[in-house]
Amino acid sequence: MGNIFSISLSLDTIITRCWDCATGQASYICNLEDNLHALQTELAELKELRSDLMRRVKIAEDEQQLKRLGQVEGWLQRAETLITDADQLIQESPQHVEKLCMGGCCSSQPRSTHRFGKQITRILRKVKYLKGKGDFSDVASKPPLPSATERPSEPTVGLESYLKKVWSCLQKEQVGIIGIYGVGGVGKTTLLSQINNKFHDTTHDYHVIWAVASQDRPIEKVQDEIAKRVGLSNEGWKSKSLDEKAGDIRSILHKKKFALLLDDIWEWFDLSRAGIPIPTQENGSKVIFTTRRLDVVECLPSGEALKLFEEKVGSETLHMHPDIHKLAEAVAEECAGLPLALITIGRAMASKKTPQEWEYAIEVLRKSAASVLPGVGKEMYPKLKFSYDCLPDERFRSCFLYCSLYPEDHPIEKDQLIHCWIGEGLLDEHTNLSSARNQGHFIRGSLIDACLLENIRGNYYVKMHDVVRDMALWIVWEFKEKFFVKLGVQLKELPEAEKWEEVTRMSLMGYQIENLTEILECPNLQTLFLGSNDLKVIMNDFFNSMPMLSVLDLSHNMNLKELPVGIANLVSLEHLNLSWTGIRRLPVELKTLAKLKYLNLELTIDLRMIPQQLISNFSKLQVLKMLACNVGCSLVLEEMEHLKYLNVLTITFRSASKLEKALGFKKFFNCVIERLMLEDFNDSRSLNILALANMQHLYSLGLLRCMNLEEVKIESNKIEGVGFFHSLRFVYLSKCDQLRDANWIIIAPHLEDLVIINCKSLEEIISEENFGEVTKSKANTNLFSKLKILHLICLPKMKTICSHALPLPRLKEIRIKRCAMLKKLPLNSNSAKGQRVVIKGEEEWWKEVEWEDESTRLAFLPSFKPHVI
């Protein structure tokens, strides 16, 4: 019987093992109440520890611009999960305690109680362990220097060889500084952008920094842009001297291998004074700069120039008549190979359908006089002026020249620009504001089509190419327009002018002017831009001699605490922008501004008082902007009924009761509200979103810090009528900690931008149930059909955007950050067809994304761009 295996145990051993097992299991029941009390105590301490840690992290991130440590982030996530689980068990505990008997040592349902007691013991052990691991001496550190950030760059003609040359030079150890020279419009910035993007798309060990020098305060501008890229930029940074900033920059860059891409240098630039270490073979760093001071870079050869020109004219025009193609060669030749001239003149000629128009254009271009400005290709401005001359009429030309009042490279908010045109009287007389704004949008679009303006930042802003702006100012000065725009200087006080009495428009934006203590005799001044300075004091008599002033912009002067009472002398004023100022009260003297049509008080966070009857006294007011204004909305509600011309209102409500009161005013439902913020809604747990749905022109809606808001109601029987929010384009949700979904968004059919940040309980955007309700409606088969931007940031419980893949035909960008549970995107291989989509996020998150199928993964693999701090 050699293959028989036997085990022999004594009776004592068996009894001992059984006893141990029985007593061990019984202890889970006997100790249940004690363990519950211990868990409640330990859990309370864990919550306190988590709150203290979160407070330290918030200070480090918001005030010190630091990045939380990975181990801290991990601890907080584990604590969040553990606290949720522990709270759930404690909530279930009464029903198990009730089952205890015999002094707590037995249970009427021993198996259930034993299982529960075991869970309590285990989670108690985990809570104690996690508490012991929650002592962090440091919670955050400076973020690493960012790698290259991709810059927008359209496909270009003729720069490929130059890109190869520059990139080849960068590989040589002995080359530290590379200059790209050329006339304005030759394509230097485009070439530098392509170099930047090549850094972005290749593996390297450089920290790539992009900075623009320009004419005004070049060193300080470069320092500020470097500071943003290396994590130095904060409130204290602004108050530092140039030398202090240089020291801070030097202390970081001298330890790093960097590539500084420095665009648009107008004069000798002292790297050392800016704090930039000189590149050497030892440190391996590089500086690549562009300048228009030397005409070294060649223009496009004739073949490539003609190709670019014909592309902008369009094949339809080129084939309208057999002679046009030959004439196009002559026009392209007159552009001297300059890309900007080829582009702008090409667009101007796109509408010219007869040979006679083309022959006239050649004649005009050949008569172009030499430029009067030094340092620029001598024929550039007159050539570009042809595009200006091709504008339909003087109204279009005046609107174009007006844009030159904004600083170089300055983003211009398109609506703000149009309202300035209206305030200046540059548009036709219209019976209502809506018609005037429509004309303004038409003119803006025409300037964009003519390549005289360009869309930026998702089409919410426009800007002028620096050469186009130079050309506009050349036209102003050449043809004796009465503009006053200072270039290439650093102003801390008002400049001097020979003939103030002749000036009609003045721009002193973006300088460091602190005090306005001199009277300017400007009897013909119509527009005055003083935004983005360091204004602190404006003397009472400053505005005394400006009786014709129509547009006044004082925005972005946070140190300006008071308005001078002398502002009452501006009896012709129609447009007043006080947004982002530090003013605490509006002077009652503003009542004299009887012609005021536009008043902007957005982001006046220190504003405490508006005199009664002041707002209602502006009987011609058409636009009132008060979004995030610190003064409550009650005053507006009471006085707005007197504003019979009010057409645009932006406003913030800070309680459900005030919103409910507002909804009783019929005008709110009709046509006035364009942007609405619901902030600090702590007096209500629910919001009936359909109460807002009839606001015909509501463009932007935000919910901010509505900490008690648990649901945004949308009745299922109303979904069939989806499309209430016909005008809503932008939705912003932040710090609404009790919300679990955002289902109501399905009734905004034209939504373009959706941004959700710091909503810690949000689990999904569109639920399975509501998705099904939507798709039943024929009108709603294309959910998110207009969506362009989707940003989801710091949503720890977010699991689902939408349970089904969506077409998303307009999608441009998805940004996901700190959404660890979000594993699947609503995409398949047919989503965003034909679009260049960018998906930004953490690399670890990207590795764990679950795809519909392999073809979807391959389709979107090139879209990913690692999140850069």
Radius of gyration of the chain (CA): 33
Place of tokens 């060193």: 219
Residue ranges per structural domain of the chain: 16-141, 160-291, 391-481
* Statement: residue 406 has pLDDT above 60: yes
pLDDT of residue 405: 94
Q: In the sheet where 412-413 sits, what is the strand order?
A: 412-413, 461-463, 454-456
Question: Mean pLDDT, to the nearest integer, of 361-370?
Answer: 68
pLDDT of residue 109: 72
Strand spans (E) along 487-608: 505-507, 515-516, 527-529, 537-538, 551-553, 575-577, 598-600
SS (H, E, C) 728-765: CCEEEEECCCCCCCCHHHHHCCCCCEEEEECCCCCCEE
Around Cβ 628, how many Cβ atoms within 10 Å?
A: 20
Q: 335-339, 444-448, 537-541: which range is least confident on average?
A: 335-339
pLDDT of residue 821: 93
CB 734 within 8 A of CB 757: yes
pLDDT digits (tens, 9 = 90+) for 65-117: 677 888 888 898 888 889 988 888 888 888 777 777 755 567 677 777 878 88
pLDDT digits (tens, 9 = 90+) for 705-757: 888 888 888 765 555 544 578 889 999 999 898 999 898 888 888 899 999 99
Q: Who has greater pLDDT, 421 or 19?
A: 421
Residues in contact with 124: Cβ distance below 8 Å, sequence separation at least 6, in sequence order:
35, 38, 39, 42
CB 404 within 8 A of CB 485: yes
pLDDT digits (tens, 9 = 90+) for 694-705: 788 899 999 998
Task: Give the count of alpha carbons within 13 A of 302, CB side only.
Answer: 6
Residue 369's pLDDT band (cuts 50, 70, 90)? very low
CA dihedral for 18, 20, 23, 25, sign (positive or negative): negative
Closest C-alpha among 769, 745, 617, 622 to residue 692: 745
Q: How many helices (H) and strands (E) does the chain have?
A: 27, 33
Q: Which H or E run includes 214?
A: strand 207-214
Closest C-alpha among 199, 192, 189, 203 to residue 148: 199
Q: How far apart are CA 62 and CA 735, in angstroms?
A: 15
pLDDT of residue 868: 54
pLDDT digits (tens, 9 = 90+) for 107-158: 677 777 878 888 888 889 999 999 888 888 888 876 655 566 777 766 566 6
pLDDT of residue 10: 44
pLDDT digits (tens, 9 = 90+) for 596-610: 999 999 999 899 889
Output the CATH code of domain 391-481: 1.10.10
CB 167 within 8 A of CB 195: yes
pLDDT of residue 65: 62
The two three-digit tokens of residue 50, written as one number: 């988590």
pLDDT digits (tens, 9 = 90+) for 32-59: 888 888 888 898 899 889 888 888 887 7
Q: Which H or E run includes 638?
A: helix 634-639
Question: Mean pLDDT, to the nearest integer, of 452-472?
Answer: 85
pLDDT of residue 774: 53
Q: Is 188 exposed, middle or buried (0-12, 13-18, 19+ CB in 10 A)?
A: buried
pLDDT digits (tens, 9 = 90+) for 304-331: 888 889 988 999 999 999 999 899 998 8
pLDDT of residue 480: 67
pLDDT of residue 796: 93
pLDDT digits (tens, 9 = 90+) for 553-606: 999 999 999 999 999 999 999 999 999 999 999 999 999 999 999 999 999 989
Q: What are phi and psi of 169, to 5 degrees?
A: -65, -35
Question: Mean pLDDT, to the nearest integer, of 234-238?
Answer: 76
CB 441 within 8 A of CB 459: no
Rounded-to-5 percentages of helix, strand, coil across the chain: 40, 15, 45
The two three-digit tokens of residue 621, written as one number: 């007011």
Q: What is the DSSP string of 535-565?
A: --EE-TTTTTT-TT--EEE--SBTT-----G
The two three-digit tokens of residue 77, written as one number: 């996530």
CB 787 within 8 A of CB 811: yes
Q: What are phi and psi of 551, to 5 degrees?
A: -125, 125
CB 494 within 8 A of CB 513: yes
Question: Mean pLDDT, to the nearest integer, of 758-784?
Answer: 71
pLDDT of residue 242: 87
Q: How far apart are CA 622 and CA 574, in angstroms?
A: 10
pLDDT of residue 504: 93
Q: Could you tell me whether strands 537-538 and 515-516 are parallel, antiparallel, or unpaired per DSSP bridges?
A: parallel
Q: Which H or E run includes 263?
A: strand 258-265
pLDDT of residue 262: 87
**Buried b or exposed e, range 811-820, using 16+ CB within 10 angstroms:** bbbbbbebbb
Highest mean pLDDT among 333-342, 613-622, 674-683, 720-729: 613-622
pLDDT digits (tens, 9 = 90+) for 466-500: 778 888 988 888 776 788 887 656 677 777 766 78
Residue 62's pLDDT band (cuts 50, 70, 90)? low
* Statement: residue 23 has pLDDT above 70: no
The two three-digit tokens of residue 371, written as one number: 């430029």
Start-to-end Cα distance in the chain: 75
pLDDT digits (tens, 9 = 90+) for 162-220: 788 888 888 888 778 888 876 566 678 888 888 888 887 777 788 888 888 876 678 88
Q: What is the DSSP string of 440-474?
A: HHHHHHHHHHTTSSEEETTTTEEE--HHHHHHHHH
The two three-digit tokens of residue 832, written as one number: 């965003």
Q: Who has greater pLDDT, 1 or 696?
A: 696
Closest C-alpha among 713, 622, 730, 621 to residue 675: 730
Average pLDDT, the chain: 82
Residue 420's pLDDT band (cuts 50, 70, 90)? very high
Q: What is the DSSP string of 73-109?
A: HHHHHHHHHHHHHHHHHHHHHHHHHTTEETTTTEESS
Q: What is the pTM of this model?
A: 0.68
What percentage of the chain exceeds 90 in pLDDT?
A: 28
The two three-digit tokens of residue 489, written as one number: 């200087």
CA dihedral for 819, 820, 824, 829, sign (positive or negative): positive
Helix (H, G, I), strand (E, B) or coil at 575: strand
* Statement: residue 824 has pLDDT above 70: yes
* Statement: residue 63 has pLDDT above 70: no
Closest C-alpha among 212, 197, 208, 180 to residue 466: 212
* Statement: residue 372 has pLDDT above 50: no
Q: How far apart are CA 122 and CA 119, in angstroms?
A: 5
Max Cα-Cα span within the chain: 124
pLDDT digits (tens, 9 = 90+) for 540-555: 999 999 999 999 999 9
Multiple choice CATH, 160-291, 3.10.105.10, 3.90.1150.10, 3.40.50.300, 3.30.70.2750: 3.40.50.300
Q: Who has greater pLDDT, 684 or 464?
A: 464
Q: Who has greater pLDDT, 765 or 368?
A: 765
Q: 152-166, 340-354, 394-408: which range is least confident on average?
A: 152-166
CB 766 within 8 A of CB 740: no
* Statement: residue 811 has pLDDT above 70: yes
Q: What are phi and psi of 410, to 5 degrees?
A: -80, 125
Q: How far apart are CA 768 and CA 803, in angstroms?
A: 6
Q: How far apart are CA 599 and CA 587, in angstroms?
A: 14
Question: Mean pLDDT, to the nearest integer, of 448-453?
Answer: 87
Closest C-alpha among 844, 838, 806 to residue 822: 844
What percentage of the chain exceeds 70 in pLDDT?
A: 86
